Amino acid sequence: METTTAPNTPLRRKANLKTLGRDDLERFVRDLDQPAYRGRQIFKWIYGKGATSFDEMTDLPKDFRTRLEDCAHVGRLEPTQVRISDDGTSKALFTLPSGRKFETVLIPDIGRDGTPNRLTVCVSSQVGCAMGCTFCATGLMGFQENLSPGDIYDQAWYMDEHARERYGRGISNVVYMGMGEPLLNYDSVLSSLRLLTDADGLDLSPRRITVSTVGLARRIKKLADDDPGVNLAVSLHAPTDEKRSAIMPVNRNTATDLGALRESIAYYHAKTGRRVTYEYCLFHRRNDTAEDARRLADITTWAPSKVNLIMYNPVGDLPFERTPDKRLNAFVKELVHRDVTVTVRRSRGQDIDAACGQLAVTSS
């Protein structure tokens, strides 16, 4: 395991243009009596070239750059620590101007020939999380702060540079599965998706981006209406209301229980035509019986879908255990028997607490 640590970024007081998207930047420059295309030029510099000073923006008039210098700055989050797991997974620790910290993970999928098939960034959308899933390290932190679109973008930007250094090419996929519930920070997440997919930003295909939610039914419908073209994953983790409510407090509310989820999934599919991925973390003797697999198979009939089975990573003293391989195999067999498309996700980055459900800031 490698670890590098850098000093914190200092606080700045001027308007941070990194909090603005394309339209906002055009409005911003118009307020400074400049034509809208100046906003588009600034957008390219900030999001496409990673500029952090106005001096770099050489196609802007010198007097306009001086004016910008007086009233604005371009913030960029840089990690204060980067750790690299024995299996190649990288975890970056970022510190916000508020002093709060959050984490981002890069998961390389390296082919037999040694070159990466996929370089997936797992971004955080909030510091901590209000959802309180009982098996999750982030849930134990509670909610602390929403991240801005720029904060989310900077995680992908940093990991893109990190990937180029380590693997000679940039990131290929982004998943919103780090800290936080993305749909509770809806506007910022939607804006960040626009930045990531903008041809003048990181220019990622929406098909290579997945937003993961605990299953907030009304927000799933809103995402279907706004349809940014990305994939949707739902953290299911149990196939009945009783079992799900026992480990996921969000399910105790009738607005977000399995009945509401079912309706929202049907709506999502009708609107977007896309299939849904169910994330299902296996916990020994809690949700891993043959009957659980049969009920999970029933859920997959709500709309075209697939299932990702996740092997649990033990977190501190929490009373959850990983399902033994024998039970995992029986569970998979039961699903396959019912024509469910299923994949098993093995854990990555466990030695640096970067695996699913392990993100919680415990070091500085």
133 lines the binding site for ligand SF4 (CB under 6 A):
yes
> Which span (36-44, 134-142, 199-207, 339-347) binds ligand SF4, by CB under 6 A?
134-142
The footprint of ligand SF4 on residues 70-129 (CB under 6 A) is 129
* Exposure string for 72-92, b = 16+ CB within 10 A, e = fewer: bbbbbbbbbbbbbbebbbbbb
Rounded to an integer, what distance in angstroms lies between the CA atom of residue 56 and that of residue 297? Answer: 55
281 flagged as catalytic = no
> Which span (9-17, 22-30, 132-140, 149-157) binds ligand SF4, by CB under 6 A?
132-140
CB-CB neighbours of 205 under 10 Å = 12
For residue 82, the minimal CB distance to ligand SF4 (Å) is 21
296 lines the binding site for ligand SF4 (CB under 6 A):
no
In this structure, which amino acid lies at residue 281? Answer: C
Name the pairing type of β-strands 101-110 and 116-122.
antiparallel
181 lines the binding site for ligand SF4 (CB under 6 A):
yes
For residue 247, the minimal CB distance to ligand SF4 (Å) is 9
Main-chain dihedrals φ then ψ at residue 293, nearest 5 degrees: -65, -40
Rounded to an integer, what distance in angstroms lies between the CA atom of residue 361 and that of residue 351? Answer: 15
How many residues in total does the chain contain?
Answer: 364
Candidate residues 119, 131, 193, 209; the one interacting with ligand SF4 per rule CB under 6 A? 131
Per-residue binding letters, 223-262, with ligand SF4 (x by CB under 6 A): ------------x---------------------------
The pair of three-digit structure tokens given for residue 24, joined into one six-digit string = 């906002």
- Please, which residues bridge with residue 310 across strands? 281, 345
- Of 42 and 136, the one with the shorter C-beta distance to ligand SF4 is 136
175 lines the binding site for ligand SF4 (CB under 6 A):
no
Q: Which residue is nearest to ligand SF4 (CB)?
A: 139
**Catalytic-role residue among 2, 69, 103, 122:** 103
Candidate residues 183, 214, 216, 247; the one interacting with ligand SF4 per rule CB under 6 A? 214
Give Cβ neighbours of residue 67 (< 8 Å, ≥ 6 apart).
32
- Of 136 and 307, the one with the shorter C-beta distance to ligand SF4 is 136
- The structure tokens 């700045």 sit at 12
CB-CB neighbours of 263 under 10 Å = 14
> Which span (31-39, 69-77, 135-143, 155-163) binds ligand SF4, by CB under 6 A?
135-143
SS3 256: coil
Rounded to an integer, what distance in angstroms lies between the CA atom of residue 39 and that of residue 46? Answer: 10
Closest Cα partner for 345 from 84, 172, 167, 89? 89
- Of 138 and 264, the one with the shorter C-beta distance to ligand SF4 is 138
How many residues contact ligand SF4, by CB under 6 A? 12
Per-residue binding letters, 2-31, with ligand SF4 (x by CB under 6 A): ------------------------------
Residue 352 CA, distance from chain mean position = 18
Question: Do 93 and 361 form a contact (C-beta atoms < 8 A)?
Answer: yes
Rounded to an integer, what distance in angstroms lies between the CA atom of residue 11 and that of residue 280? Answer: 40
133 flagged as catalytic = no
- Of 125 and 148, the one with the shorter C-beta distance to ligand SF4 is 125
For residue 180, the minimal CB distance to ligand SF4 (Å) is 6
Closest Cα partner for 179 from 91, 103, 87? 103
For residue 312, the minimal CB distance to ligand SF4 (Å) is 12
CB-CB neighbours of 129 under 10 Å = 26
144 lines the binding site for ligand SF4 (CB under 6 A):
no
In this structure, which amino acid lies at residue 276? Answer: V
138 lines the binding site for ligand SF4 (CB under 6 A):
yes
> Which span (23-31, 103-111, 131-139, 320-328) binds ligand SF4, by CB under 6 A?
131-139
Q: Give the residue numbers marked as catalytic.
A: 103, 356
Interacting residues toward ligand SF4 by CB under 6 A: 129, 131-133, 136, 138-139, 179-181, 214, 235
